[in-house]
Amino acid sequence: MAAKGSNPKKTIRRSSRKLNLQESELYVQQIGDGPPLLWLHSEDYYELSLPLIETLAQKYRVIVPWMPGFTKSTLPDSIRTIDDMSYLYLDLMEKLKIEKARVVGFSVGGWLANEIASKDSARIDRMALVCPVGVKIGGAYDRDIEDIYFHTFDRVRAMKFGNPKNDPRIQTELNDDEAMMLARAKEATAKLCWDPYFHNLTLKYRLNRVTPKTLFIWGARDGIVKTKYGRAYAKLLPKSDFVSIPGAGHFPHVEKPEAFDPVLTKFLR
């Protein structure tokens, strides 16, 4: 029995299933009830187990598709780019009758959100994009997005986290299933994002079509895509704001949740 005056958390409804869309089997989890919140994870998929999901599920129906090629979702040959994938997700939104959705996208998931919204924003109420990639800001020989395939593992981790010790994934401690999940994710990321490298050459020319209110949330110490890139990216959208999280790298939601979570939840309200 709850103490007098307390506000006990409600029981969270959960479901999961595979949906056959186009040529893909897309594994989708739904957590909670209420207005829809589409949760688009990053290439490193830390967000699939983020505690924040449980908090948001008290108020929203959090819809978590596992990107094609990641764990239980299949990546068919017909999906070769994030641009291709955006049509799959538009079909998903129609299939699940998602209307007036909040969309939260992380890194490649933020890129995917912009690809979706640039084609059809009708089902989206607002978007929060966390250190998204996806566009070319500088010139042909400017390095907008650091090359994660060129640098050593330790160097890449230092670029991803303001403090590398904040990376919760210790690869030497993964069991066989976890290691295979990570390998599949890396393979899918390379297939989808290698050429051109983590961007779509044409996306920035249609970001004027992204009409929902959008918040860019950036780690001030992001070494993958610097805040300068993020601010320039935000200016390409007609209704955008930019917030920086001090001390955080490319995954501020993992590294500085005490600063990140209030910013996101306030915007979603």
Q: Answer whether residue 92 shows pLDDT above 60.
A: yes
Rounded to 5 degrees, φ, ψ at 264 are -65, -50
Is 224 a member of any domain? yes
Sign of CA dihedral 103, 106, 108, 110: positive
Q: Answer whether residue 59 shows pLDDT above 70.
A: yes
Domain extent at residue 167: 14-268
Distance in Å from the first CA to the final CA of the chain = 30
Quick one: pLDDT at residue 9?
65
pLDDT (tens digit per residue) in 96-155: 999 999 999 999 999 999 999 999 999 999 999 999 999 999 887 788 999 999 999 999
Quick one: pLDDT at residue 174?
92
Q: Answer whether residue 6 shows pLDDT above 80.
A: no
Tell the burial category of 87 from Cβ atoms under 10 Å away from its Cβ (0-12, 13-18, 19+).
middle
Identify the band that residue 11 occupies on the pLDDT scale cut at 50, 70 and 90: confident
Residue with tokens 């989708």: 28
Q: Answer whether residue 12 shows pLDDT above 50.
A: yes
Quick one: pLDDT at residue 131?
98
Is 55 a member of any domain? yes
Average pLDDT, the chain: 94
Q: Which residues contact 160 (CB under 8 A, 6 or more apart)?
A: 44, 167, 223, 224, 249, 250, 251
Residue with tokens 């890396």: 186
Quick one: pLDDT at residue 172?
87
Total domains, the chain:
1
- Higher pLDDT pick, 170 / 127: 127
Q: Answer whether residue 2 shows pLDDT above 80.
A: no
What pTM was computed for the model?
0.94
Quick one: pLDDT at residue 214?
98
Is 115 a member of any domain? yes
Is 7 a member of any domain? no
**% residues pLDDT > 90 (the chain):** 91
pLDDT (tens digit per residue) in 172-227: 899 999 999 999 999 999 999 999 999 999 999 999 999 999 999 999 999 999 99
* CA angle 111–174–218, rounded 5-degree value: 30
Q: What is the mean pLDDT of residues 51-61?
A: 96
* Amino acid (one-letter) located at 12: I
Is 3 a member of any domain? no
- CATH at 75: 3.40.50.1820
Please give, one letter per residue, the 3-state secondary structure of the chain. CCCCCCCCCCCCCEEEEEEEECCEEEEEEEECCCCEEEEECCCCCHHHHCCHHHHHCCCCEEEEECCCCCCCCCCCCCCCCHHHHHHHHHHHHHHCCCCCEEEEEECHHHHHHHHHHHHCCCCEEEEEEECCCECCCCCCCCCCCCCCCCCCHHHHHHHHCCCHHHCCCCHHHCCHHHHHHHHHHHHHHHHHHCCCCCECCCHHHHHHHCCCEEEEEEECCCCCCCHHHHHHHHCCCCCEEEEEECCCCCCHHHHCHHHHHHHHHHHHC
Quick one: pLDDT at residue 141?
77
Q: Looking at the chain, how many residues does it have?
A: 269
Is 2 a member of any domain? no
Is 176 a member of any domain? yes
Is 6 a member of any domain? no
- Higher pLDDT pick, 62 / 170: 62
Closest CA to 71 of 188, 190, 194, 192: 188
Quick one: pLDDT at residue 66?
97
